């Protein structure tokens, strides 16, 4: 039965339907202020590729277990 935890979500990677195991938190410093955090869901296979895509664009990125939130990404 469902408990109090957050339900899972599908991976944010295009075409992927796997359940997310991780959350990728990021921010575009050119358009987002420091306290703005965008979050993508990521499965085991896409955690690294999603984070690498963001980091290659110079976006601050923080990866956590799915369901965790972060106040900001430095």
Residue 72: CB minimum distance to Zn ion, A: 25
Q: Which of 22, 25, 27, 46 binds Zn ion (CB under 5 A)?
A: 46
- For Zn ion, the closer of residues 11 and 73 by Cβ is 11
54 forms part of the interface with Zn ion (CB under 5 A): no
Among 9, 16, 37, 62, binds Zn ion (CB under 5 A): 16
Instruction: Choose one: 24-32, 38-46, 49-57, 61-69; the region binding Zn ion (CB under 5 A).
Output: 38-46
DSSP the chain: ---SSPPP-B-SSTT--SBP-EEEEE--TTTS-TT--EEEEE-TTTHHHHHHHHHHTT--EEEEETT---S---
CA distance 44 to 5: 19
């Amino acid at each position: 039965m469902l408990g109090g935890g957050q339900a899972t979500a599908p991976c944010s990677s295009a075409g992927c339907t796997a359940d997310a195991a991780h959350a990728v938190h990021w921010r575009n410093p050119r358009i987002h202020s420091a306290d703005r955090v965008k979050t993508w869901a990521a499965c085991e296979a896409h955690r690294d590729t999603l984070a690498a895509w963001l980091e290659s664009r110079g976006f601050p990125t923080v990866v956590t277990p799915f369901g965790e939130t972060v106040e900001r990404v430095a």
